[in-house]
Homo-oligomer: A and B are copies of this chain.
Amino acid sequence: MARTSSPEGALRTTDAEETRLNILDVATAEFADKGLSGARIDEIAERTNASKRMIYYYFGGKEGLYRAVLERAYTAVREMDADNLRDHLEPDAALRDVVGATFDYHNQHPEFVRLVMNENILRGAHVGEIPGIRERNRKVVEHLRGILARGVTNRQFREGIDPVELHMTISALCFYNVSNRYTFSYGFERDMSSPKALARRRMSVIDVIESWCRR
């Protein structure tokens, strides 16, 4: 990618790079907000420093832009993993950490959740082409497998829990209260966006997972 000739050299990104990122930011918000078919590239272009012409210039079109957005969102998750999949001494503490971090990440990145929701509406039409997702999932599962194994040796955890099932359970619990906040909680007064309710939910999720794994 071309660089400016400014004295900062390679450390400084070009204007073009900044434009790309700006477009990606706006597009992420827009796609997360309305989905692929609901988003309008004219609208994205307007909110951008750049023009519609530039979107086509850089990303080729709506689909290309969408894929770039999805890819970057998944990349961010992987970076989060890298920070949080450290090994702890105690299996139960490690498990709590994974669950808590996953819960927090989903809550702090609803746009990621919404992109994934949309991708599922599209039956995963694009997610397959994004490199790194397989590895990401595999890595998480392997991490959980390790925790479970150490927990069993430790006699903290019971035997027979499948790490894939565990991964799925954790994901489901962390995903749902973000993805379904608008349809859930009709009928009983509980605003899932209140910090108090959120904290309680967080505790519950950790508790559910722990109760399941503990012997």
Contact = CB atoms under 8 A, between A and B. Distances in A.
Interface string A176-204: 11011111111110100000000011001
Task: Please report whether the interface of chain A is mostly helix, strand, loop or mixed according to DSSP.
Answer: helix
A207 B200 contact: no
A181 B207 CA distance: 25
Task: Please state the number of chain copies in the assembly.
Answer: 2
A114 B187 CA distance: 21
A46 to B, nearest CB: 19
Interface of A: 34-38, 114, 116-124, 127-128, 133-138, 141, 162, 164-165, 168-169, 171-173, 175-177, 179-188, 190, 200-201, 204-205, 207-208, 211-212
A117 B175 CA distance: 12
Nearest to A174: B172
A181 B211 CA distance: 25
A116 B181 CA distance: 11
A207 B117 CA distance: 26
A175 to B, nearest CB: 6
A188 B120 CA distance: 18
B117 A188 contact: no
Nearest to A134: B187
Contact of A124 (B182, B200, B212): B182
